Structure 1
Amino acid sequence: MERIYIGMGSNLAAPDQQLRRAITALAQLPGTTLAGVSAFYQSDSLLPGQPRFTNAVAALDSNMAPLDLLDALQTIEKDQGRERHERWGPRTLDLDILLFGDQLIDEPRLKVPHYQMHVRAFVLYPLAELAPTTLQLPDGHRLSDLLTTCPFVGLERLPQE
C-alpha cells in the first residue's frame, strides 16, 4: 500500500457538494482506503473572471498502480460532469495526484510530485493538515520549506460541517 495525496478542486455546480461526492467516490476505489481529508478552503481562480474555487486534499492508502489511479480519478471527474475544453477553465471537479508514496513519476500523462504544487497555497496548506511538515517529497523538497515560501494568501479555511 502506498500513501497517496489527491488534490481536489471545484468552482462550478455547488463546489462543496462536488468535493463531498468525490470523497465518497475515492473511498470506494478498489484496493483503497480513505485515510483522511483536509478542511475545505476557498481560493481565487488562477484566471480572472472565474468563480472562486473550493479545494481540499485527500489521503489514500492504495495498492492501485499510478496510471490506473489516474484513470479512476478521471472517471470520477467525468461522472461529476467534468468537461475538458480548456486547460485552466472552470470545472465541476479536478482531481490531481499530488504525491504517490515516495515515487517520482514522469510519464506523458502523469507527473508526480504534481508539477505546480510547490507554488499553490490551496494545495500545500490542506496537505499540511494530513501530512507531517517534516515530509520530504520525492524530489527532495520538504513540505515545511514549501510552506515558508508559499504564504497563506488569498485562502479562506471554511468552517467544518
Structure 2
Amino acid sequence: MEFKKQHIKTSVVACIVDEQRRVLLTRRCIEPFCSQWVMPGGKIDHGEPILAALHREVREEVGLLVGVDGLIDVYEHIGVGCGQDHYVILYYRCHPTGGNLRPNKTECTEAAWFSREALPGMDLPPGCRHILARVFPELDWGPEHAIIDAAGEIPDQMRLP
C-alpha cells in the first residue's frame, strides 16, 4: 500500500441544539459539501485553542454565541474533493447563548433551525449524519447509523472507548 504525505485538516463543528431540541444547520456554498446542509464550523488555526476556534467559527458563520456542552464525537473524512483532502473533525454539542442569527453568505447561503424529526430526510454529508444520529438515536437514520439495536443495546462498533 502506497501512502502520500499530506496535511490533515483539523476542524471543529458546533451541533447547536436549542431549548425546543431544534438543530441549527447552514447550507454550504463552498467545497467540500457545497449545497448540502451542515452544522457551523471550520478549520482550527495554527496555535489556536480548540474551543476558541469553535466559538470564532460559529460567530463568523452565523453570528451566534454558544455555550459548549461537550464533545460528541470525532469524525474523519478521507479523500474528499479533487484534492483528496483528509479532515479530522471534532463535533461539540452546544446551545445558543446570544447573538443574532445571520449567515455570512461567504461560506453559507442560509441558516435555519430544523426540528429533529426533519433531520434524517435532509441532504447531509456523512459526518453530519453520523453526529446527528448520535445526538438523536431515537430517530430512524437507517441501518448504517443505528446507535441502538433491536434489543435496545448499543452495538460494539458504536461504543465509545
TM score, norm. by length of structure 1: 0.42
- The structure richer in helix per residue is 1
Task: Choose between structure 1 and 2: higher strand proportion.
Answer: 2
Larger RCO: Structure 1 or Structure 2 (Cα < 8 Å, ≥ 6 residues apart)?
1
